[in-house]
Structure 1
Amino acid sequence: MLEQWYTGVVTKIVNETHNTRRFWIRVPEKATFDFKPGQFITLDLPIHEKKNKRWRSYSIASHPNGSNEIELVIVLLEGGAGSTYLFTEIKEGSELLLQGPLGKFTLPDQMEKDLFLICTGTGIAPFRSMIHHLKLHDIPHPNIYLISGSRKEGDLLYKSEMMQLQQEMPGFQYIPTLSREEDTSWAGRKGYVHAVYEELLADKRPAHFYLCGWKAMIDEARQRIQAMGYDRHDVHLELYG
């Protein structure tokens, strides 16, 4: 079955960090844009003659709220045709061709094991959707650890929002981890995300892993998680780039 394409209208754009933007897109053809937290949409951008070179997929950063508007958070990639087009050509009121929701990167039906949500950069988008969804609907959940890797504190996405959620949601822990922060005032974790989950799981308790971000991080995390003795079926991933 061919997926249907919709025309979305950009209702709002906000600069989040020096190289990331939040885009709100409304889909007037739908009364509500229904999706499962963790799913993505695909945009068809006028950047190439060939279809498969025009398509760019982005995780939905907002949670299902009964409206026909969704939020994306997008990083400007150096030399990236898709993100360059979105950053230079798209304004509030612009139209975008999109299809979705797509993808199976969604929460488990049985939430019995602790959840480790491990991301870099804009890979936090699907996890933000999941966490808000769990809180909004008071869904019982095990311990959830959101381990978010960035280079510097200024690169962290949704930081104050995640710190607020940590205070309001029992069992949810937000662990931002910085690989290149030189400012001595940073009191949080330094280094890479891998050391964090390895330390937390020294007891090898049952866990589900969700990985979202750049390929290098995901490849390394998969190897390390399996080396710790976890089954590959415990690991779910969404690759960027």
Structure 2
Amino acid sequence: MLEQWQTGYVTKIVDATHNTRRFWISIPEKDRFDFKPGQFVTLDLPIHEKKNKRWRSYSIASHPNGSNEIELVIVLLEGGAGSTYLFNEIKEGSELTLRGPLGVFVLPEPLEKELFLICTGTGIAPFRSMVHHIKKHAIPYQKINLIFGCRYQKDLLYAEELQQLQLEMPGFNYIPTLSREDPNWHGQKGYVHKIYEEMLAADKRPANFFLCGWKEMIDEARQRIQAMGYDRKDIHLELYG
């Protein structure tokens, strides 16, 4: 059964980076908005006459906390009708029409294998939700590697929060990697693929791979992971754009 459209209200907006914004939305029709970490909502925006050209889907960046409020993190795409509308027209107090939760990009139960969460840009959203959920519910896990690719340090979303989670969760590795030259950066450089390939080069251990972000990154990661000898069933993906 497809979820019905509901009215949400924007309760808070915060600029996250120079081109990304965090939107908190409450859904008063529900006492609590139940979802699984990794799921998304679809917004119906007044940007086109045709229904399917008005719909934009965004992963939920917050974790299920028993409230009826969720957080989305959205990047302003050059020439993108949906994100331009959200950035220019939506203010605190604005109404949004949405439905969800939707999607099957969710964690396996139980977490028996090492997790590689690989993302670019706002593809961090579902993984932030997953990691907080694992911590909050003390869900047993093997090891979690969050590999986050961005161009510059200024593009890294939730950086302090994820560094803090790394301190608090044994076996959780937060690995940001930058593809552009950044003189103040002392972390990983290059693309995300190099990181997981190096981590698994000596020991092809059982693992689940979750990929979220731009299509080019996902296509390449899928090929490389299978080339390392992993099964297609070990790879889960959520495409952006």
What TM-score bracket applies, with the shorter chain setting the length?
Answer: over 0.9
Q: What 5-or-longer segments of structure 2 have no aligned partner?
A: none
Q: TM-score, normalised by structure 1?
A: 0.99
Give, in whole Å, the separation in 1 of the partners of 2:182 and 2:68: 42
Verify the 8 A CA contact 1:41 1:101 in the aligned structure 2.
Answer: yes
Following superposition, the deviation at residue 141 of structure 1 comes to 0.5
Q: How many residues align?
A: 240
Q: Percent identity?
A: 79
Following superposition, the deviation at residue 116 of structure 1 comes to 0.0
Which residue number corresponds to residue 196 of structure 1?
A: 195
AA in 2 matched with 1:133:
H
Give, in whole Å, the separation in 2 of the partners of 1:186 and 1:177: 9
**1:61-100 pair list within 5 angstroms:** 61-100=61-100
Give, in whole Å, the separation in 2 of the partners of 1:3 and 1:173: 35
AA in 1 matched with 2:105:
F
Verify the 8 A CA contact 1:153 1:181 in the aligned structure 2.
Answer: no
Give, in whole Å, the separation in 2 of the partners of 1:181 and 1:65: 38
Which residue number corresponds to residue 11 of structure 2?
A: 11
**1:224-239 pair list within 5 angstroms:** 224-239=224-239
Ranges of 4+ aligned residues in structure 1 off by more than 4 Å = none
Give, in whole Å, the separation in 1 of the partners of 2:23 and 2:114: 31
Following superposition, the deviation at residue 3 of structure 1 comes to 2.3
1:125-148 alpha-carbon deviations (Å, 9 max, x no partner): 000000000000111111000000
AA in 2 matched with 1:200:
M
AA in 2 matched with 1:65:
N
Which residue number corresponds to residue 54 of structure 2?
A: 54
**1:96-175 pair list within 5 angstroms:** 96-175=96-175
AA in 2 matched with 1:18:
H
Following superposition, the deviation at residue 112 of structure 1 comes to 1.0
AA in 1 matched with 2:119:
C
**1:36-51 pair list within 5 angstroms:** 36-51=36-51
Following superposition, the deviation at residue 111 of structure 1 comes to 1.0
Q: TM-score, normalised by structure 2?
A: 0.99
Give, in whole Å, the separation in 1 of the partners of 2:4 and 2:37: 20
RMSD: 0.6
AA in 1 matched with 2:233:
H
